[in-house]
Chains A and B, each alone.
Chain A
């Protein structure tokens, strides 16, 4: 069933804006309503097209009125935020994530027009530990549940979403667990981290990372709004990169820090406003996390870009300190130097 009125929460942030503008460009959708606590950035307002913006805090019951009055049938919940930086501290972040979701779901439960709920979650709910299988499937039970920050919020949000699913079995429920976003434009803790001139890593660990191209993330959300794909799906590129490999591809230098010092370095970076390291991101830097994304491809009949391709999109945007061309040229020069010396000593004619 095609959606008529779509409500997107968290519309003022990058991915929310992009999804709303994509949906607004689809004439089959009657109305697109964007909700956020802050208005979209002025440069984003022209992309949003016919999206109607409602400045509302999903933490208060006003959201119920919006949903009821506009007869919203599809809600895309993208307002689970990852960093306390923009939200004004961890307390506010938790409030927005957990209480906000509860309010939103309460409103959805009461709305008779509701047909579909799409929730943007994260693979961070699987945690990160050395005792986990190499790839997480959607049914994996985490060996160590995340105990703090964004990941813990996401676990709680998923719990409330499941509860909603039980109470409104008539609503198509899609829960998307995204891996780390990367791409030509998006700003995330990971992109800021990989943009540091010298990238601190944990000494003695080299985690596997998995990435999702921002365009593919939007495409998956769009498809889940327009088509019916009930269930839980991991979303991300297939394949992995090692962190050291990713750092090399961006042409940066890794700075391995002994693990007792990592939190100190992390705190210093946070204070300098460079990158916000939270404890669960620290664990991620040690053990990494990779999810099995085959269920999504099988269901959608469409495959997102691989992790390596997503990384390439990011590499192209960031100025590299060490260019692969420079390295290749150096290799060439060294080789020709060595061969020339060799050929001179053996009195062989120099080849072109």
Chain B
């Protein structure tokens, strides 16, 4: 945690008074302090301004740290995460389950189902782990190489802690005790038509499993319900996609018909469930990663776990939007 993290002081009115006061005036709780409540407000307000200014100073003078992968925690927590929070809390009303399956320390590979035309599910899972996990863990996503070739997107992807989906990077992050997130379906999952919602696509070539095997870190399956409905993909403009060098150009009920308005996601109700970790440490390390049958079986096991959890969650869900 950087020392100057802005912590929003969302407290009850009576609490506010005490928080706004300076430490030297350590009065008993029962005794109301002489100034009236509005005077106590500056404390909170000042703190916010001071925090903001300190952040600006750090940015202007370059006084912040990035890790080897280019992860800029300061920027991620203060600039990229705050606008996502309303989306997470108010719009999608994300409900998390099984967060205790994610370890407080040490590396683990989080494997999830991918959907939703644009990878909002990745952002929401990252936010769930950062805000709601007791250890406030930062998930490091493995992204497709397309992400790192697009101007504008490439530096943001790196600064928010993502790196290229390749075994070298996955293993390096896992060995460094980081939480690594991967969506093995890739573009096949995220760009599948609405009619195939919640049907898992092929799970890559099992590269993620061999990374986990080689480092002996657990695999945590995560099932995300709700992301499929945010942009129901009913068509794909293949000609335009080929022209732009993109895997697909989405056509949804709202996009591109309503222009920018069509880019507003539908407010579906989300559930993110973290499943029981699948331990890999006892399977034999690097030698096990060289056994294709074992890798295939483990890949299938992870895939089946996520698929069956998805069906269970869908049964429990009352409706798409509530």
Contact = CB atoms under 8 A, between A and B. Distances in A.
A203 interface: yes
B172 interface: yes
B151 A135 contact: no
Contacts, number: 115
Nearest to B146: A130
Nearest to A206: B155
A335 B158 contact: no
A132 B149 CA distance: 11
Contact of A346 (B39, B65, B153): B39
Contacts of A202: 151
A251 B56 CA distance: 14
A240 interface: yes
Interface in B165-200: 166, 168-169, 172
A139 B158 CA distance: 24
B49 interface: yes
A328 B70 contact: no
Given A130-B145, A248-B61, A335-B50, A240 B66 contact: yes
Contacts of A308: 65
Contacts of A131: 145, 148, 164
Interface string B38-59: 1101100110011001101101
A203 B56 contact: no
Give the interface SS of chain B, mostly helix, strand, loop or mixed.
helix
A204 B155 contact: yes
A208 B158 contact: yes
A343 B39 CA distance: 9
Interface residues of B, number: 43
A331 interface: yes
Interface in A224-255: 238-242, 244-249, 251
Interface of A: 130-135, 137, 140, 202-206, 208, 238-242, 244-249, 251, 259, 287, 290, 308, 322, 324, 327-328, 331, 334-335, 338-339, 342-343, 346, 348
Interface of B: 35, 38-39, 41-42, 45-46, 49-50, 53-54, 56-57, 59-70, 72, 145, 148-155, 158-159, 163-164, 166, 168-169, 172
For the complex of A and B, 3 pairs with smallest distance between CB atoms: A204-B151, A248-B62, A206-B155
Given A239-B65, A331-B56, 17 more contacts: A130-B149, A131-B148, A133-B169, A134-B69, A134-B163, A134-B172, A205-B155, A206-B159, A208-B158, A240-B68, A245-B64, A248-B62, A324-B61, A327-B57, A328-B61, A335-B53, A342-B42
